[in-house]
Structure 1
């Protein structure tokens, strides 16, 4: 039986990853600080560990071995290097959750392909996550893994993950703004953005972990929406019109506020055999479900 360790599998699409692995008959161990109660009951084993304390990691994983390690919570080169030291000789494969943010804003209508950021040719700068922006931290983590890991590595580059269990409340932010008739600051309603659902994100991680693939790979639902289209979906479900305030800068509290189209291509993953969902087929029902949940709180 395949043995998998999931670093950070107790919320959002980490839960979906664990569920997908269990459905595949994988023996799963979840490693976390133990601050969030998970829904898995006796279906998984658990290790309580501080991901940011390399000594604690080494102590807890000293006599372990895994077929796959899934890392949901690595944000810098230093964290990646510490993790490599912990798991060297203890895993056959490592799947790291990276981000679309390794690409600069843009990508055009076709979207960035993986080669637009090549971690094998990027300079390594070792430091903790406080030393980097989010995007640069993910770049540096990829560089560290691919340049120093003695085991095969996959870096999965997700766009924004959306779902009913999204603790960041980014989609809910816009739903609440429309419902409450509050101002929404946006730079460009014509800018297009892509997403992946929490179910799809978890399933893809489990799938690529069991595949022979190594290297960076994008994973996103098929299709995209313009910011204006997204608001139109929300307006339809809420029954009110959005109050959009044109702005000249990207407001930090407006999570999808981008100045130009920013997309990634999932062609490589599709060539590997993964079938993605159509964004516009599930987005309206997700908005409706999220609205019901918001209104019942």
Structure 2
């Protein structure tokens, strides 16, 4: 297949490109050219700005069997792609997020956010917060595209090469004895490992004809206190967990949530994808991060 990847130069996007290559697909990656890019041999690299309408129309002069959009953060981004590729027989895989849902204190189902009937308000990424940008991106894709669309809703993605260092935030503070602000240690949270996220994107884009929204999350959930206990075991040190009201803003956990916030992955499993269990891979990722040279 001829495959286009928007956002394939780091973290799970980079791994997606590698897996597609391994399976023999012809892969084109688009970047804005603002940073050094190191892509695997055999990947075609184009420098374009996906936020510019004319650039998307230039890109659409070529046909792609599958398009992965990992970097759409606004309805305007989605609309430009739809307009450019109108009338083409392609398959669009949109990397969406748990953030499209409100916090409901239970496992979230795809039906809990109906993007097909969500009111569209146009604007660019600076006009909306992350969650609203993703909601509106889905709404535009599902309501206006004339080609097949899949919205993959991921929870927090973790991995050894996670540039956000969200897991590292906790292990580092436990080792230093620095406080970690958490408002509800009983809140349940879900994750997916970066390589697993990339594998699911390959599966849903090239091995399935499914269309619509789908949750993709590792099996298993952790209460926040269980996550801290796991990291305490790994570091062999006691965490200094503080009520959020008493903690400095800079010490608030990036995983802090008022109540349980995780995905039901039943639909994805029914399609045939087998997920890892978070209890198996998360300790391995945390340990490997601690062994990296830039760990602080």
The normalised TM-score by structure 1 is 0.94
Q: Distance in 2 between matches of 1:114 and 1:257?
A: 23
Q: Distance in 2 between matches of 1:141 and 1:259?
A: 26
Which residue number in structure 1 is paired with residue 244 of structure 2?
Answer: 247
Which residue number in structure 2 is paired with residue 150 of structure 1?
Answer: 146
1:52 Cα deviation after fit: 1.7
Report if the CA contact (8 A) 2:5-2:70 is conserved. yes
Q: Distance in 1 between matches of 2:295 and 2:69?
A: 34
1:199 Cα deviation after fit: 0.1
Which residue number in structure 2 is paired with residue 86 of structure 1?
Answer: 84
Report whether the alignment pairs 1:227 with 2:224: yes
Which residue number in structure 1 is paired with residue 269 of structure 2?
Answer: 270
User: 1:204-236 CA deviation, whole Å, 9 max, x = no partner?
Assistant: 011100110000000000001111111111112
* More off after superposition, 88-97 vs 64-73: 88-97
Q: Distance in 2 between matches of 1:136 and 1:58?
A: 26
For the residue of structure 2 that corresponds to 1:154, the secondary structure is: strand
Which residue number in structure 1 is paired with residue 16 of structure 2?
Answer: 17
Identify unmatched segments of 5+ residues in structure 2: none
For the residue of structure 2 that corresponds to 1:94, the secondary structure is: strand
For the residue of structure 1 that corresponds to 2:116, the secondary structure is: coil
Q: Distance in 2 between matches of 1:130 and 1:249?
A: 32
Q: Distance in 2 between matches of 1:203 and 1:62?
A: 26
1:145 Cα deviation after fit: 0.3
Q: Distance in 2 between matches of 1:244 and 1:3?
A: 49
Report if the CA contact (8 A) 1:64-1:90 is conserved. no
For the residue of structure 1 that corresponds to 2:262, the secondary structure is: coil
Give the alignment of 1:106-117 within 5 angstroms. Answer: 106-108=104-106, 111-117=107-113
Report whether the alignment pairs 1:177 with 2:173: yes
Identify unmatched segments of 5+ residues in structure 1: none
1:40 Cα deviation after fit: 3.3
Aligned residues between the structures? 293
* More off after superposition, 197-206 vs 226-235: 226-235
Report whether the alignment pairs 1:28 with 2:27: yes
Report if the CA contact (8 A) 1:194-1:262 is conserved. yes
* More off after superposition, 24-33 vs 140-149: 24-33
Let me know the Cα RMSD of the aligned residues: 1.8
Report whether the alignment pairs 1:197 with 2:196: no
